[in-house]
Amino acid sequence: MAIQHSRGVSAFARTDSDGYTALPSGEPTVRRDVPVPMRDGVLLSADVYHPAGQGPHPVLVMRVPYGKEAAQTIVFAHPYWYASHGYIVVVQDTRGRFKSEGEFSPWVDEAADGYDTVEWAAELPGASGAVGMYGFSYAGGLQLQAAALAPPHLRAIAPAFSSLDVYGDWIYPGGALSWAFLASWGAGDLVTESARRLGDPDLEERLHALARELPDSYWHLPVCEHPALPRAAAPYVHDWLAHPWRDEFWSQRTGEQTLSTVSVPGLHIGGWSDVFIAGTLASFSTLANAGAAEQRLVIGPWMHMPWIPWSPPEQGDDQDFGDVNSLQLDWFDRWLKTGSERPASTEQTAGAVGPREDAARVFTMGSNRWTSMRAWPPACELTSWHLHSDGRANSRFGDGALAPQAPAGEPFDVFVYDPRNPVPSVGGRSCCNPEIAPIGFSDQRSVEERNDVLVYSSAALEEPLEIGGDVTLLLWAATSALDTDFTGKLVDVQPDGAAINVVEGIVRARHRRVQEPESLLEPDSVHRFALELGPIRWCFRAGHRIRLEVASSSFPRYSRNANARAHPNTARFGDLQSATQRIYHDRDRPSALILPVLDPRAGT
């Protein structure tokens, strides 16, 4: 596994008169539930871990909505571990969560609260004044939001597995509701705590039971009335559902535009199977190109949770994937410690970045190796792989082909999408529990047996083909419906027939135009759709085939489109209707998969 979890603390801890829990001599102490005043008078609650010795010590701050006592130990070492390496560690419940005052409104107050917390932490007894921030997922984005306001004492950040594009990465990729993620994240991590704060133990118990019923309840319609997301406990979720297009509501919560003011060094950590990988790469690239401070990138073969690496079957799983805790410690030692406090040297792990390495350290899937690069994306050539068939590309048993040659006169392919029987999601980029949401790299052959999935495959490659960057699908299509979805999935087909998903994306037709958020289709008219399948660094090995799947659903990764005038967020079972879909690939409408192909002679 990629993460080393810390051992439990000593059973011989004691509490002194100042509220600190002290471990045996020479070990860290902790003071719990310390009030932290915000500029508007709200008090946020923090646990403060203090290393042995008088200091001065640098400070690490983690701000989380999931409980400061847990401190994201599901992915990181316990704060005691960081404190044992010479850091004061502040772990804080965000506004409106657990023991902190205020109202929880995701992303709204976080920048100012982060600024105030950093400056408060810099003045703690024994603090050196140098502060860093770390955290995963929501806590990763909070670092970037705080850094955008430039707290004077913030010296470095390490945002992991996160994105500031709240609309496009968190809730509505391609305009379609990220349903499995929203339901599992909301019901599992957010709503039950909100019910507890309401003082309604019956509701809290009922919500815990409903959370255990996922994924069976993903089928519930309408999604805006899902029983595990009641308005009383999750008003913010209903706000998101009421704003399915990019509007002013999202601009107040999306922090991408604030990146221009971030000026501290950043270590950006992500995984190729993470739901937020596009946002992680975008944050790194934007800040690195701005050149205001040193930015580093580490992307491993990880999913959102758990951080377990994946290896191609023929490669085995004995690779060294590095230790993220040690990686972060090296980063903060470099920027927050000075003089005798700073280690003379640190051991570099497989994914580690040091002062003399290239800016990006990326795991290349397929060939199973770490690659150093100067920037993301690497230099590449956008290469078109065109769709071909004689009109029967349905399933992997059809006649669909993928080739660099452009099509001439070819018939269209046709399939019927029935939202009552959607194509199931098998793996992919989602969150937050693989038992209730589809996550990871998986064999797609069961999906490819369906006739409502078009399959286009290349010939076996004579030599390796490596890609690095964003994959796009340009699709000429028509539908019999007023609204529908189109999905695309890039697949690596191995010599034994295993078909491993690489990247996938979706476009919700009515949201295809930003300027026209509710643009219904004229039935049976042909449109050109651009599907962003996402970023990847992947090597298709010799003897493998490149494959593209085209469908109109991937459930429950995305909510079902009813193919009706009713919006998918409010559609009821009676609104569901089938749609006949036509995919064109001829001289005038050349649908194509666009791959960012790397030149093997150009190095890394």
Residues serving a catalytic function are 137, 274, 304
- CA 138/CA 115 separation, integer angstroms: 16
Residue with tokens 């920037």: 375
b/e burial code for range 440-471 (CB count within 10 A of at least 16 → b): bbbbbeebbebebbbbbbbeeeeeebbbbbbb
- CA 339/CA 108 separation, integer angstroms: 39
- Burial of residue 92 (number of CB atoms within 10 Å: 0-12, 13-18, 19+): buried
Angle at 471 between CA 465 and CA 475, to 5 degrees: 115
What is the chain's length? 604
Output the furthest CA–CA distance in the chain (Å, rounded).
84
**Which two three-digit tokens encode residue 481?**
């419906």
Q: What are phi and psi of 149, to 5 degrees?
A: -90, 0
The answer to whether 417 touches 551, Cβ cutoff 8 Å, is yes
* Residue 51: alpha-carbon gap to chain centroid: 33
- CA 414/CA 288 separation, integer angstroms: 45
Nearest to 143 by CA among 117, 169, 121, 122: 117
CA-based torsion, 59, 65, 66, 67: positive or negative:
positive
The answer to whether 335 touches 265, Cβ cutoff 8 Å, is yes
* Residue 50: alpha-carbon gap to chain centroid: 32
* Residue 229: alpha-carbon gap to chain centroid: 21
Nearest to 75 by CA among 144, 2, 138, 180: 2
Q: Do you find a cis peptide bond into 431, omega within 30 degrees of 0?
A: no
Nearest to 92 by CA among 51, 55, 141, 134: 134
Taking each helix axis from N to C end, the angle separating 138-148 and 110-122, rounded to the nearest 10 degrees, works out to 80
Amino acid at 551: A
- CA 52/CA 26 separation, integer angstroms: 5
- CA 154/CA 260 separation, integer angstroms: 16
The total of other beta-carbon atoms located within 10 Å of residue 577's CB is 17
- CA 64/CA 72 separation, integer angstroms: 8
The answer to whether 136 touches 224, Cβ cutoff 8 Å, is no
